[in-house]
Amino acid sequence: MQAHAASERTRTPAARAVAWSDWVALTKPRITRMVVVTAGLGFLMATLAGATWTWAGLLGTLAGTAASCAAAGVWNQVIEREADARMSRTRSRPVAAGRVSPRDATGFAAVLAVLGQGLLCTFGTPLASALAAATIVLYVGPYTLLKPKTPASLWVGAVPGALPPVIGFAAASAGLAGTPWYGATSAAVWWVFGVMFFWQIPHFLAIAWKLRDDYAAGGLAMLPVVDPGGRRTGRQAVAGAALLLACVLTPAATGTLAVWAAVPCALAAAAYLGLAAAFAKGLDPVATRRLFLASLAVLPLMLALFAVGAL
Ligand code: HEM
Ligand SMILES: CC(C)=CCC/C(C)=C/CC/C(C)=C/COP(=O)(O)OP(=O)(O)O
């Protein structure tokens, strides 16, 4: 019995069959789900602008985006395995915990990336595939590599975080270029990019402030780790929320977003800004939690309003 237990402990990850749950966990299913929803929103915006709707186009695009996002998440876990192993939130991840070898995970990511690009080229457009490839590169390259070095990684990571609606739009918009709708709706999609980009700043700073000890243990230079007093963290959260509000007011003023959609959107952004200001002032657990929870509520509301209110 003891000999058996010892041999269990000394088995390498490669020698043991990987459990299905670990393949699934490697794909970061929660972030992949959000990415699929926001890519679907971009696809919907293109079809509302007159692009041809097909189920094959939609499902192929969503599957291709999901596979691309999963590939990015798997590669990220290979690169960050040592940091992940030091943080309580991430130490049970499959590569960090040694249940999947970096080599197997890298192979899995490559298969997912090729599958994703194939699906996007076949059921979407080459432009959508190129944008997804660029999203993977930005996330796995600059963002992941900058995390241990500088808090500016957040502003870099917000780019791949905001690109999925643009990918969905590009996948559905074949044949749409040149039509009167195309220019207006593609402008609206870039405002959606802006909304998602700036929304992430308070979203993440609230999380990182709460988890600052964990990020410090992982050796990641998130803003709350290098700014223990929290002044810069609070200021950047307020700046992100203020720029988010500008991403609602500007398209409303230029006629890209209908006023009936812009009003509730602006109210949501203003409430988010108020909560970011309260967070910056107190930096207490209640204000931090409120800002995080508000981030989860305002994003779906604003994205839905942009999808139906874009002119
Ligand atoms: C720089 C970009 C981002 C970073 C660093 C980030 C980081 C995180 C982290 C660490 C959590 C876990 C919080 C916890 O365990 O308490 C989280 C939660 C969450 N994030 Fe983000 N996030 C980013 C972008 C996004 C984007 C683009 C979306 C949606 C499209 C999103 C949606 C969510 C949601 C819904 C949750 C709560 C539920 C869950 O954990 O899945 N995040 N985020
Ligand atoms: C279509 C496609 C390729 C989409 C990929 C987009 C993508 C992965 C966006 C994620 C945004 C982001 C920076 C999340 C945090 O990652 P993190 O590494 O800080 O999270 P962690 O701390 O949980 O590891």
**pTM for the whole structure:** 0.92
Report percent pLDDT > 70 for the chain: 91
CA of 6 to the centre of ligand 1 (A): 39
The residue assigned the tokens 């690009």 is 117
Give the model's pLDDT for residue 5. Answer: 39
Q: Say whether pLDDT at 307 is over 70.
A: yes
54 Cβ contact list (under 8 Å, min separation 6) = none
Q: Is 60 close to ligand 2, i.e. is its CB under 6 Å away? A: no
Q: What is 146-205 written as a DSSP string?
A: HTTT-TTHHHHHHHHHH-HHHHHHHHH-TTTTTSHHHHHHHHHHHHHHHHHHHHHHHHHH
Average pLDDT over residues 139-156: 98
pLDDT band at 64 (very low <50, low <70, confident <90, very high): very high
pLDDT at 174: 74
pLDDT of residue 178: 61
Q: How far apart are CA 281 and CA 174, in angstroms?
A: 48
What pLDDT score does 180 carry?
58
136 closest CA partner among 73, 82, 190, 84: 73
Q: What spacing in Å lies between the alpha carbon of 67 and ligand 1's midpoint?
A: 18
- Ligand 2 pocket member 160 (CB < 6 A): yes
Cβ contact 199:300 at 8 Å:
no
Q: Is the pLDDT of residue 4 over 80?
A: no
Residue 69 confidence (pLDDT) above 50: yes
CATH number of 186-311: 1.20.120
| CA–CA dist 46, 43 (Å, integer) | 5
Residue nearest to atom 5 of ligand 2 (CA): 69
Confidence (pLDDT) at 6:
37
pLDDT of residue 181: 59
Contact 78, 145 (CB under 8 A): no
Encode pLDDT of 226-235 as tens digits. Answer: 999 999 999 9
Ligand 1 mean position to 177 CA, how many Å? 33
CA atoms of 134 and 223, how far apart (whole Å): 25
Mean pLDDT of the chain: 92
* pLDDT for the residue 2: 37
Domain pair 1-178 / 186-311, same fold: no
Kindly report each contact of residues 290-297 with a partner whose C-beta sits within 8 Å and lies 24 or more positions away, as own/partner: 291/202, 291/206, 291/237, 292/203, 292/206, 292/207, 292/210, 295/199, 295/202, 295/203, 295/206, 297/268
Q: How confident is the model at residue 15 (pLDDT cuts 50, 70, 90)?
A: low
pLDDT value of position 182: 63
pLDDT band per the 50, 70, 90 thresholds, residue 198? very high
Give the confidence band of 186 by pLDDT, cuts at 50, 70, 90: confident
Q: Domain 1-178's class?
A: mainly alpha
Answer whether 161 contacts ligand 2 (Cβ < 6 A). Answer: yes
pLDDT for residue 1? 36
Query: Which residues on neighbouring strands pair with residue 310, listed in sequence order?
Result: 257
pLDDT in tens, 16-40: 688 999 999 999 999 999 999 999 9
Q: What spacing in Å lies between the alpha carbon of 18 and ligand 2's midpoint?
A: 23
Closest residue by Cα to atom 22, ligand 2, is 90
Instruction: Report whether residue 135 contacts ligand 2, using a CB cutoff of 6 Å.
Output: yes
Closest CA to 206 of 87, 297, 139: 297
Residue with CA at minimum distance from ligand 2 atom 15 = 157
Answer whether 129 contacts ligand 2 (Cβ < 6 A). Answer: no
Read off the pLDDT of each residue in 243-257 and give the average, rounded to a whole number: 95
Using CA positions, which residue lies closest to atom 4 of ligand 1?
204
Question: Which residue, 162, 77, 79, 70, is CA-closest to 115?
Answer: 70
Q: Supply the ipTM of this predicted assembly.
A: 0.93
Q: What is the mean pLDDT of residues 224-245?
A: 98
Query: What ligand is nearest to the CA atom of residue 162?
Result: 1
Ligand 2 centroid–CA 31 distance in Å is 7
Ligand 1 contact, 38 CB (< 6 A): yes
Q: What mean pLDDT do residues 105-132 have?
A: 96
Local structure of residue 17 (DSSP, 8 states): P
Domains of the chain: which residue ranges?
1-178, 186-311
Q: Is 113 in the pocket of ligand 2 (CB under 6 A)?
A: no
pLDDT at 11 over 60: no
Distance between start and end Cα atoms, the chain: 70
